[in-house]
A and B are shown apart, each in its own frame.
Chain A
Amino acid sequence: MKEEDDILISRYLAEELDDKNKTALEARLAEEPTLATELEQRRHELTFLRTEASLPDLKSRMQELGSQHFKESLGNTTTDQTASPQHPATNTAKQEATVRRLRWKRWAPAVGIAAAVALVLLIWNPFATAAPYEQFAQYDPVYLTEKSSDAAAAAAPAEAAFNAGHYSEAYKQLTNYLTQRPDDNEARLALGISALETNREAEAETIFADIAAGSSALNDDAQFYLALTYFKIEDPRAKATLLSIDKKNPDYGVRVTEMLQLLE
């Protein structure tokens, strides 16, 4: 594939071509199967990239809906399972479905107190949903090993630990890696996340605020994670930080909207 044709297709896909050049390219596409195949392949690549870009928001939404609907459907499936006694899951479900009589008069005062405490907590705490922070804490993997052969030995364990979700180890390894490549913003962002996940919120805040204030391609990411840090520690700055992020942001828009709703 010649570079000029590749660039022509890029401009065509970005809808940057004027009518004359667009018509000329479309005429060539009709006559040159190789060029048409190239365009089709580029469209497949864009489909992949669009999918990857919106995947964190999709997963966040599914996590929320999954716990809701699959919990709700437990009753339905338990009924169905009674027809298939040979399955181990059936027995478990039946055991879970066993009804026990409670002595309500005996427990009523304690239940009343517990309900009152729960109500007070619900009113007092704006973050009161099931695991409100965890449902938004979804992270993309990092890729450090490709970047530099001189830091490859430090990059591999840092990348492996972070991508496996072992944040204590990732924090240690990323700190080591960054002594060799202190300007690697992707690694700094991952260090911030590792700090956040290991309850070093003050350090996470400093890292995210620093990257967000810079001019790297990771500004939006850092701004979201800064908001997530405030959200986790129930800092009132969470709302203002979330409001500074475009709700149409394909990576974070859905999460920003949902977090703001929880803060209302």
Chain B
Amino acid sequence: MQAHKDHQLILALRKGDFSVLDRVYAENASTISSWITKNSGNLSDAQDIFQESIIALHQKANDPDFTLTCPIGALLFRICQNKWLYVLRKKKREAEVRLAQPAPSEHEGSVHDALEAVEEESIRQRKMKAAFAELSELCQRLLRLLGKGLPAAEIAKQLGMAEANTVYRRRHACGSRWRSLYEGK
């Protein structure tokens, strides 16, 4: 599937260049606010939902295999809608939602696929996060440093380990523990 031109925003988020969010907010905040305030929410709700959606998008943006094939605004709107509907369901107020769906566009299929990918990533990361908190301090530090892309030799130095191979052996132990925890959640 061919990348949409907005994929450049995903690449920027992946690199940690959050200056692109200026544009994302400028182009989408008012639309989301309008939809949520029309559907039993207020501006504060809209801001919370929008932020949660950006975080979800950022989670998926960090997956190097992810390619955005639809406009980022269309995807954000769907993520926000789903999150707000979830809030209303929890409050048993779904009947109040007027289902102000956007008109189907040529990107409808791509938006649906991207939405599924984002939600799947969110669920996976939620489990990983809960399990990560149960690891020892050393395991957490070691995995964080590896996640930052630091060379094993540098990590060995920072953690007072003898050599790079020790880092990888320790990672094996920490990683196995982590996985057994998050797969059990």
- Which residues of chain A have a CB within 8 Å of any CB of chain B? 1, 3, 6-7, 10-11, 14, 16, 41-55, 57-59, 61-62, 65-66, 68-70, 72-74, 76-77, 80-81, 83-84, 87, 89-90, 92-93, 141, 143-144, 146-147, 186, 217, 250, 253-254
Q: What residues of chain A lie closer than 8 Å to B135, measured between beta carbons? A: 143, 146
Whether A61 and B175, one on each chain, are in contact in the complex, defined by CB atoms closer than 8 angstroms, is no
Q: What residues of chain A lie closer than 8 Å to B151, measured between beta carbons? A: 14, 16
Q: What residues of chain A lie closer than 8 Å to B18, measured between beta carbons? A: 57-58, 61, 254
Using CB atoms, name the residue of chain A closest to B46: A70
Using CB atoms, name the residue of chain B closest to A254: B18
Q: What residues of chain B lie closer than 8 Å to A59, measured between beta carbons? A: 51
Known: A48-B129, A51-B59, A53-B144. A76 touches B168 (CB 8 A): no
Whether A47 and B33, one on each chain, are in contact in the complex, defined by CB atoms closer than 8 angstroms, is no
Whether A52 and B171, one on each chain, are in contact in the complex, defined by CB atoms closer than 8 angstroms, is no
Using CB atoms, name the residue of chain A closest to B134: A146
Whether A66 and B125, one on each chain, are in contact in the complex, defined by CB atoms closer than 8 angstroms, is no
Q: How far is the CA of A254 from the CA of B132 in the complex (A)?
A: 25
Interface positions of B from 18 to 69, Cβ below 8 Å from A: 18, 21-22, 25-26, 29-30, 33-34, 37-38, 40-43, 46-47, 50-51, 54-55, 58-59, 62-65
Whether A70 and B33, one on each chain, are in contact in the complex, defined by CB atoms closer than 8 angstroms, is yes
Using CB atoms, name the residue of chain A closest to B18: A61
Using CB atoms, name the residue of chain B closest to A11: B168
Q: How far is the CA of A53 from the CA of B145 in the complex (A)?
A: 9
Using CB atoms, name the residue of chain A closest to B44: A70
Q: What residues of chain B lie closer than 8 Å to A141, measured between beta carbons? A: 133
Whether A62 and B43, one on each chain, are in contact in the complex, defined by CB atoms closer than 8 angstroms, is no
- Which residues of chain B have a CB within 8 Å of any CB of chain A? 16, 18, 21-22, 25-26, 29-30, 33-34, 37-38, 40-43, 46-47, 50-51, 54-55, 58-59, 62-65, 121, 124-125, 128-129, 132-137, 140-141, 143-149, 151-152, 158-159, 165, 168-169, 171-172, 175-176, 178-179
CB distance from B133 to the nearest CB of A (A): 6
Which of B129, B178, B179 touches A52 (beta carbons < 8 Å)?
B129
Of A49, A93, A143, A254, chain B has the most CB atoms within 10 Å of the CB of A49
Q: What residues of chain B lie closer than 8 Å to A47, measured between beta carbons? A: 59, 62-64, 121, 125
Q: How far is the CA of A49 from the CA of B150 in the complex (A)?
A: 12
CB distance from A52 to the nearest CB of B (A): 7
Whether B55 and A45, one on each chain, are in contact in the complex, defined by CB atoms closer than 8 angstroms, is no
Whether B134 and A6, one on each chain, are in contact in the complex, defined by CB atoms closer than 8 angstroms, is no
Using CB atoms, name the residue of chain B closest to A50: B62
30 contacting pairs across A/B (C-beta < 8 A) = A3-B169, A6-B168, A6-B172, A10-B172, A14-B149, A14-B152, A16-B151, A41-B179, A45-B175, A45-B179, A49-B146, A51-B59, A51-B125, A53-B144, A55-B55, A55-B58, A69-B29, A73-B34, A73-B43, A81-B37, A87-B37, A89-B37, A89-B40, A143-B133, A144-B137, A146-B135, A146-B136, A146-B137, A147-B137, A186-B137
Q: What residues of chain A lie closer than 8 Å to B172, measured between beta carbons? A: 1, 3, 6-7, 10
Q: How far is the CA of A68 from the CA of B183 in the complex (A)?
A: 40
CB distance from A188 to the nearest CB of B (A): 13
Which of B21, B22, B128 touches A48 (beta carbons < 8 Å)?
B128
Which of A11, A52, A74 touches B43 (beta carbons < 8 Å)?
A74
Whether B21 and A45, one on each chain, are in contact in the complex, defined by CB atoms closer than 8 angstroms, is no
Which of B30, B46, B124, B144 touches A49 (beta carbons < 8 Å)?
B144
Q: What residues of chain B lie closer than 8 Å to A73, measured between beta carbons? A: 29-30, 33-34, 43
Known: A3-B169, A6-B175, A45-B178. A77 touches B21 (CB 8 A): no
Q: What residues of chain B lie closer than 8 Å to A42, measured between beta carbons? A: 175
Q: What residues of chain A lie closer than 8 Å to B148, measured between beta carbons? A: 49-50, 53, 250
Whether A66 and B176, one on each chain, are in contact in the complex, defined by CB atoms closer than 8 angstroms, is no
Q: How far is the CA of A253 from the CA of B148 in the complex (A)?
A: 13
Whether A65 and B22, one on each chain, are in contact in the complex, defined by CB atoms closer than 8 angstroms, is yes
Which of B46, B51, B129, B171 touches A62 (beta carbons < 8 Å)?
B51
Which 4 A/B pairs are nearest by Cβ-Cβ distance?
Answer: A49-B147, A73-B30, A69-B29, A61-B18
